[in-house]
Structure 1
Amino acid sequence: MALFKKFSKEDVSNLSQVKSSVARGIRAAICETYPYLEQTDVIETLIPKKESVYLGKCGHVQLCVMNGTILFFQERDGPWLPTLRVLHQYPDMMKRLRTDKGAIKFVLSGANIMCPGLTHPDATIHDEGDVGAPVAIYAFDKENAMAVGVLKMSTADIRAINKGIGVDNMHHLNDGLWKMPSLN
């Protein structure tokens, strides 16, 4: 369920600066989900305490924006997810799953990631995760992530059940969010 299949600046409503207390809350939630950012002080680079944070709304999705650049997004009450541009800068921030070759074209067209695409001999479950955990989706033999998603099943269940949707594809290369890195 790619959120940003058709996405443009016009889809963003209510881009407004948030109070510092709200910005601290967003920052804390992001650090809680991605401890790597806090441990390595990357969060200071991404969302400096003194900078203005803006929140954009796009249907039931919130966008965390700094200096016109969309850094993170959140669907309803789900986790804050990084854009692929942020993930490519800091690839160690998220749990990783790697699909087989056959899944690539489907993932890049916005399809969810099915269990067999993650359990194939060419695929790799690099990190264990529970339902609802954000994950980076890598393609077989590629260095950079091709999608960001949320686990629909735990990685243990993906291996055991091996059918159905394993990961909700939230944002992928060449979707609207990728094509529009900035709101300026």
Structure 2
Amino acid sequence: MDCVQQGRRLDASADARAHAWHSRRARAQGCAGHTGDTMQDFSNLTFNQDHGRSMRRQALDHDVATGQKMIIYAVLINLLVLGMTVALPSANLMPDIGGLLLLGGWVLSFAAGVVALLGLMRIGKGFEWPVIGRLALAVLAFLPCISLLMLLSINARATAHLKAAGYQVGLMGARPKH
């Protein structure tokens, strides 16, 4: 019989002598923490104190992953706009069509800035950057060539972080870990 079986709590109707016999026998066998009523030793019991922190870290990693996807889409839109601004002047298009395409390029550039802004806020939250740093990056997200370089740099940093966290990261961003 082991310590736990010997140390069962006895009902009030149980014989006191049997209880005393179990207690003496448990002490003789060296069951730690035996008090007479129970013989379970919880002194070396450890709890996962890091559980709350790891759940928070998983949520922040998810923010980094979704922000990275937004940044990748913003980079692709920025590359499309950059290609349009380089190719359109030499295309010899009619002024109306060329003007509409340039206006479309400006609208796409603004859309890329908004998507980049949302992605930067998510990544900044995941990396726990201060709000002032996130706002500075938000301003840079609307500058044409600087935003592209900044987004590529932050995307590389997010990729390294997500790989270290166990995510599989491909060309279009992170896939959730299983």
**TM-score by structure 2 length?**
0.27
**Going by fraction, where is strand more abundant, 1 or 2?**
1
Larger Rg: 2
TM-score (norm 1): 0.26
Structure showing the higher helix proportion among its residues: 2
